Amino acid sequence: MNPTESKKMDKEYLLAPGPTPVPPEVLLAMAGPIIHHRAPVYEQILSEVREGLKYLFQTKNEVLIFAASGTGAMEGTVTNTLCAGDKALVVEGGKFGERWTGICRAFGVNPRTVPVPWGRSVDPGEIAGVLEQDPEIKAVFTQATETSTGALFPIREIAAVVSRYPGTLMVVDGISHLGAQELPLDEWKLDVVVCGSQKALMLPPGLAFAALSDKAWGFVERSTLPKYYFNFQKELKNIAKNQSAYTPAISLILGLAQSLRMIRKEGLENIFARHARLARATRSAMKAIGLALYAPEAGADSMTAVLAPPGIDGQKIVKILREKHRLTVAGGQDQAKGKIFRLAHLGFVDTFDVIMGVAAVEMTLKELGYAFESGKGVKAAMEIFMEEK
């Protein structure tokens, strides 16, 4: 064959902030025959999963599991803890903050938003001020990491404010954060943490999780909003018996058992250190080739949002990465569309995934005519990795 006719291998790379790569061990666990969910073998697996989830969420309470994307757990949190007409406070610093507002409105809850400029973090003092003015607010809804901007929010500090109000819940969307950075539910006095399977849990999309404090379970008892599938009390009763009210996503649960084993084996502390290292290397690489970060003061460890160089469309960077180099990353949404690209280092990702991602970004930027010294980003990332003994 004429070498000029050779086609690239069909090998795909994924560095998006969800879905994220799935380890072979997890894929294998999901490829087995379907077992029956009312059989003892399933109950045994669910019992192991319950313990693994408590470890991950760092809570003594049960973690509920739903066959849904993460938004299902967000909706369930609103409908299971609040009543029509309740007031809520929503930290709105991107697309996912807007989602909390949308869900509240859909169910007759009155959201008051704390707007945060995209790419920035929120000041806990601002939340303290709003709660002081209006102690009738029943819940504070926020993200831990706002995926649309890559910004990290100071959850521990916000929770310290909210925990002073017995009538207010601290609700955290940890979907792109939990399992990558600290979010200990009990220790930080968080009331609800929701998550989805397709991020740090190293699974395909399809599972949603919600963990609640004792204070939040008190709210559930009093909540009068309509609910059916996402009925937290019903699921709590079922999971306590290693069961679920409805047919679970059995294959995903088998995969979850395996991914939780891997998480326990690596250990949360090591996992957080790995994500911090990958984030440092990515940020350093981008800066080394002259690019600016979208959330320079508050970058999360799960992903890095990078401003496209002036005159270069961020969507074009994403397109070339995907079509020419087979690397899928995320572009910007809404007001950030065309301005940024988002490189994730979340879940089943390590040193050479970052090196590969940085190299692909460099090659793409060269093709787009951006002037910089080739290899400078890769070198900066390598230096961070080589600092570690």
Ligand X SMILES: Cc1ncc(COP(=O)(O)O)c(C=O)c1O
Enumerate binding residues for ligand X (CB under 6 A). 18, 69-71, 96, 143, 147, 173, 175-176, 196, 205
> Residue for token digits 């979010």?
183
Cα 73 to Cα 206: distance, rounded to the nearest angstrom: 11
| Residue closest to 171 by CA, chosen among 220, 235, 221 | 220
Instruction: Give me the DSSP letters along 204-254.
Output: -S-EEEEEE-HHHHHHHHH--S--SSS-HHHHHHHHTTT--SS---HHHHH
CB of 379 to ligand X, least distance (A): 31
Q: Which is nearer to ligand X, 181 or 364 (CB)?
A: 181
Q: List, in order, residues 6 or more apart from 153 with CB less than 8 Å away.
A: 91, 93, 121, 122, 142, 143, 144, 145, 146, 298
Q: Which is nearer to ligand X, 153 or 217 (CB)?
A: 153
CB of 173 to ligand X, least distance (A): 5
CB of 177 to ligand X, least distance (A): 7
Cα 24 to Cα 46: distance, rounded to the nearest angstrom: 21
Q: Which is nearer to ligand X, 18 or 119 (CB)?
A: 18
Q: Which is nearer to ligand X, 93 or 309 (CB)?
A: 93
Q: Which is nearer to ligand X, 194 or 216 (CB)?
A: 194
Q: Which is nearer to ligand X, 26 or 320 (CB)?
A: 26
CB of 141 to ligand X, least distance (A): 11
Question: What does the DSSP 8-state code read for residue 288?
Answer: H
Cα 79 to Cα 97: distance, rounded to the nearest angstrom: 17
What burial class does residue 342 get, using C-beta atoms within 10 Å of its C-beta: 0-12 exposed, 13-18 middle, 19+ buried? buried
CB of 353 to ligand X, least distance (A): 19
Structure tokens, 21: 């790569």
Q: Which is nearer to ligand X, 99 or 280 (CB)?
A: 99
Pairing of strands 145-146, 151-152: antiparallel
| Residue closest to 90 by CA, chosen among 66, 126, 64 | 126
| Cβ proximity of 162 and 130 under 8 Å | no
Q: Which is nearer to ligand X, 47 or 69 (CB)?
A: 69
